[in-house]
Each structure stands twice: as C-alpha cells, then as structure tokens.
Structure 1
Amino acid sequence: MIMIAPQAEPAPGNIKVTRQDWIDLALQTLVSDGIESVRVLTLGQKLGVSRSSFYWYFQSRQDLLDQLLAHWHDTNTKAIVERAKRPAETIIKAVLNVFECWADERLFDPRLDFAVREWARRSDDVRAAIDQADNDRLGAIREMYRRHGYPEEDAFIRARVLYYMQIGYYVLDLKEPVEARVSHLAAYLRAFTGHEPSEADVAHFMHFIAAR
C-alpha cells in the first residue's frame, strides 16, 4: 500500500479545515477537557469534517499528540529560556525579562502548562518531557544569575525560588489580579535579587504590562 505523507495544505473537499485548525482545536480540547478528550472522531465532529481530513494531515492520533507537545515546548519553554538568556545590564533587568513570561500569556500559557502536567500523569514520555522542560527552564534562570555574579549555590536556589513560586501560582489556581501582583513588583525584585530596583526599572515593566 502506498502511504501518502501528511500535508500542510487543506484537504480536498475540506478546503476550510487546515492542519492548523486540527492542532488549534486539539490544544483547546487538551486545556479544557484533558488529553483523553483529544480524539480524532470527536475533533472531526466539532470541525464538521470526516476522519479522512485528519489523515490527510497526520499519520495517527499519536502524531497529533506529538505536535501538541512540540507546540507546548516551542512556546512555554522557549519563551522562558530565551528571556533568561537575554543580555541585561543588571540582575534586576534580567529578572524583569523573565517576568514578561508571567505577565503575557501569549508568551507563556499557564493553562496549557497545567494541562500538559496533568497529561504527564498518564504518560511516562510526557512526564520525561515535563522533567526536561523544568530542567531547561531552571537551568537558563540559574545561568542568568551566574552571569550576574551570584555564586553557584545561590544561583541554583534563587532560580528554584523564582521558578517554583510562579509555577505554584498556577498549580494553586490563585485568582490574584495581575494589577495586585505588580503592585508588589519592587518587593518581589528585592526578594529575588537582593537588590533595590530603580523607579525606572519598575516604570519600564509597568509600561510593558499596560501595552499588552
């Protein structure tokens, strides 16, 4: 039997349904209902297309699940690592770069992160991906502190405090408005760095929040 490779273009007869449509709906379903609800038949019914449309773009359900995991990595983990590696004049500015991920869900989607962590309870492979992502995120933040002169152990612990505190916010599903959190921005920066932020540092981040 000749296998036709999955395509990026719309499937014939389903011109309005693209590969990205399948991925977007699968991501929405993962976040709202969990991984067990990400089923080809169910997604097809919601999109109003047949299963053949799915197999035009994907080899299997597992292929789709792999794409969801790749999307999660390429957004949530990539954003944290990229911002932790950004050049910054001071550790205050460096931490504020990472804070951008917590303040803008286009960079880091907490609901998706939580959904993938729930998925990991059912899959050893996803558990391994979560562990690797946490290590990559923590490693990038630790190196950020080291670049700014913190000793190895201090950099390690400060990275854990910064990262685990934020993940804890999501896991506990705290409903604190972002305005309330940023009202304590200077105190957070003192806690995470041991340095006093300038008014300009705080004002710059507040402008980032306002421009989202």
Structure 2
Amino acid sequence: MNDRLSRKDWLKHGLRALVVGGPGTLKADVLAKQLGVSRGSFYWHFRNLADFHDALLAYWQTTSTQAVIEGLTADVPQKDRLFVLVQRALSADTSLERAMRLWAANAPAVASVLAEVDRERINYLGSLLTEHDVSTSDAVERAKLIYWTYLGRMDVAAKDQMNVSDQTLAAFVAAMQD
C-alpha cells in the first residue's frame, strides 16, 4: 500500500482494526504498520489520536445509523420500512457493533456517542411505528423492545439459533405495529 491513503481509508481501517484487535489497536503506529505506511500518513489526516478517535466515532455513527436511515427512506416504501429494517438488523454481521460496545465499556467519550446512537435508533424505530398509527408513548416502548431484540441477538453464541423465518419476523413486526 502507498502513503497516499485518504482520511476515509484510515477510518475504514480503524473500524476493521477495532473489530479484529479491539481498542488497543487504534493507535497511529499500530494502524500504520498494518497498512504498510508511515505514521506521517496518519498525522497528515489527524492532529492526534484523540482527533482520530473522534473522527472514527463520527464515521461509525454516520455509516451505521444515519446512512441506514437515509437509505431506507430513499429505497423502501414507507409501509415496508420497519420490516426491512428489522430484517436487515437481525441478519447483519454485528461484530463492529459488539466491538463498539466493548470499547464504550471503558471509554466515556465512546459511551456518550453510543448512547446518542442508541437514542437516534430508538427514535427512528418509534417514528416508523407512529407511521402505523401506534400512539407516541406506545411507539417509544415498542421501539425499545425491538432495539433490545437487536442488541440481544449479538449475545447469542450458537449460530444455528441466530435466524428466524421471514414469516415469524413479519408476525413480530405486525405485533409491534398493532
């Protein structure tokens, strides 16, 4: 690899490094070595490690939440958005989500961003439910249940217990919308 990495290249690699090696790998020298470049390339894009961490969190928040919401809004009919979102969330690779939550356990700044992401996701789920005439107070409570289902799925160790049929998923979503 050459020294002409973009800021986005560093951020993408940072997320991969977090998944593979944990937050201890989010250091300029470690990342540069993994990428086969000098640390100067890192410092060309980031003032310091804290700046990189802030940028990494912002990039993760944008790609894992805001871009997902924007994509659903643009590509999925309103009536199908909740089902599609739940279906995608429950079949997605959760390794990055798990790594972020582990990092947040020992890093208050990360925990703060994670709490913001959780609120944003729950609020969006709630808005999808209110589009199906669920009262605002019920929508918030049901959104939490849906989100907790997603979070709980990350802790299921047996791969054969990870999936449910689309029929079961549709019944779950319908129950949340009723």
Taking structure 1 as the reference length, what is the TM-score of the superposition? 0.70
Q: Distance in 1 between matches of 2:57 and 2:157?
A: 22
Measured after TM superposition, the shift of residue 23 of structure 1 is 2.2
Shift of residue 182 of structure 1?
2.8
Cα separation, partners in 2 of 1:36 and 1:191, compared to 1, 3 Å: same
RMSD: 2.8
Match of 1:27 in 2: 15
5+ residue gaps in structure 2?
none
- Report the AA paired with residue 99 of structure 1: V
How far, CA to CA, are the matches of 1:87 and 1:21 in structure 2? Answer: 33
Write the distance in 1 (CA, Å) between the matches of 2:153 and 2:67.
18
How far apart are residue 103 of structure 1 and its match? 5.9
Task: State the SS of the aligned residue for 2:106.
Answer: coil
- Determine whether 1:162 maps to 2:150: no
What is the rounded CA distance, in whole Å, between the counterparts of 1:145 and 1:20 in structure 2? Answer: 34
Task: Identify the structure with bigger relative contact order (alpha carbons < 8 Å, sequence gap 6+).
Answer: 2
TM-score, normalised relative to structure 2: 0.82
Q: Distance in 1 between matches of 2:176 and 2:67?
A: 19
CA contact (8 A) 2:129 2:139 kept: yes
For structure 1, list consecutive stretches of 5 or more residues without a partner in the other structure: 1-9, 195-212
User: Do structure 1's residue 94 and structure 2's residue 78 form an aligned pair?
Assistant: no
Q: Which has the larger radius of gyration?
A: 1
Which of 20, 26, 37 is the aligned partner of 1:49?
A: 37
Q: How many correspondences in the alignment?
A: 176
Number of the residue aligned with 1:115: 99
Alignment-mate amino acid for residue 37 of structure 1? T
Q: CA 1:169 to 1:104, structure 2 compared with 1: closer, same or farther past 3 Å?
A: closer
1:145 corresponds to which residue? Answer: 129
AA of the residue aligned to 2:138: D
1:1-212 equivalences under 5 Å are 14-15=3-4, 17-82=5-70, 83=72, 88=78, 90=79, 93-99=80-86, 101-102=88-89, 105=92, 110-176=94-160, 180-182=164-166, 184-194=168-178
Identity of aligned residues (%): 28
Deviations 1:166-187 (A, max 9, x none): 1110133452477644353333
For 1:171, what is the secondary structure of its paired residue? coil
The alpha carbon displacement at 1:161 in A equals 1.4
Flag the structure with higher helix content: 2
- Matches of 2:73 and 2:155, distance apart in 1: 22
Tell me which stretches of 4 or more aligned residues in structure 1 moved more than 6 Å. none
Moved more, 78-87 or 135-144: 78-87
